């Protein structure tokens, strides 16, 4: 993760700032997410029934893939000198383009879209994030992610 001064943010707009390592989305992770969210739809947890669908097996919840963004962002987004904390500020857009089959690996690709100082020392950073699936051309999801970074 590049560590930069806030005054350098403008020069990063429109540039890819990082790509995460691959993360495996295995059946155990999918089952744990199903338990946590109480979303036990068969396509996620019943391997035998899911094998009879066009997916040929279980798939991760779209929201599970989205929930991996903090992990996929760690170390791959810009670090501002003097950062006290970063806060997930939400999303302007999220699109689920391709299911993630159990056992697949995903990674995040981040591009800085905008950086606005909302208050002194509080920067709203906007990233376009693509979650790629190893070996598959169409990404799992695309999102516009917002992060509030507080510098002191």
Whether pLDDT at 2 is above 80: no
Rounded average pLDDT over 118-147: 97
Give me the residue spans of the domains in the chain: 3-25+61-151
DSSP SS3 for 79: strand
Rounded average pLDDT over 37-59: 98
Radius of gyration of the chain (CA): 17
Q: How much of the chain, in percent, has pLDDT values that exceed 90?
A: 97
| Pairwise CA distance, residues 26 & 43, whole Å | 14
> What is the pTM (predicted TM-score) of this model?
0.94
Residue range 3-25+61-151, CATH number: 3.10.129.10
pLDDT band at residue 38 under the 50/70/90 scheme: very high
Write down the mean pLDDT value for the chain: 97
88-111 pLDDT tens trace = 999 999 999 999 999 999 999 999
Can you state the percent helix, strand and coil of the chain, rounding each to 5?
A: 25, 45, 30
| Pairwise CA distance, residues 79 & 73, whole Å | 11
Residues 6+ apart with CB under 8 A from 57: 47, 50, 51, 101, 102
| Pairwise CA distance, residues 21 & 106, whole Å | 8
Rounded average pLDDT over 136-151: 97
Whether pLDDT at 1 is above 80: no
Residue found under tokens 């990404």: 139
């Amino acid at each position: 993760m590049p560590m930069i001064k806030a005054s350098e943010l403008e020069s990063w707009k429109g540039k890819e700032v990082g790509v995460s390592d691959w993360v495996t989305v295995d059946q155990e992770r999918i089952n744990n997410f199903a338990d946590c969210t109480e979303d036990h739809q068969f396509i996620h947890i019943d391997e035998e029934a899911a094998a009879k669908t066009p997916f040929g097996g279980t798939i991760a919840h779209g929201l599970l893939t989205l929930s991996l963004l903090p992990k996929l962002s760690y170390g791959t987004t810009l670090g501002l000198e003097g950062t006290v904390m970063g806060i997930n500020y939400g999303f302007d857009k999220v699109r689920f383009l391709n299911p993630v089959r159990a056992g697949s690996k995903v990674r995040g690709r981040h591009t800085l879209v905008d950086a606005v100082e909302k208050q002194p020392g509080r920067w709203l950073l906007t990233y376009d994030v693509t979650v790629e699936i190893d070996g598959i051309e169409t990404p799992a999801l695309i999102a516009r992610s917002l992060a509030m970074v507080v510098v002191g």
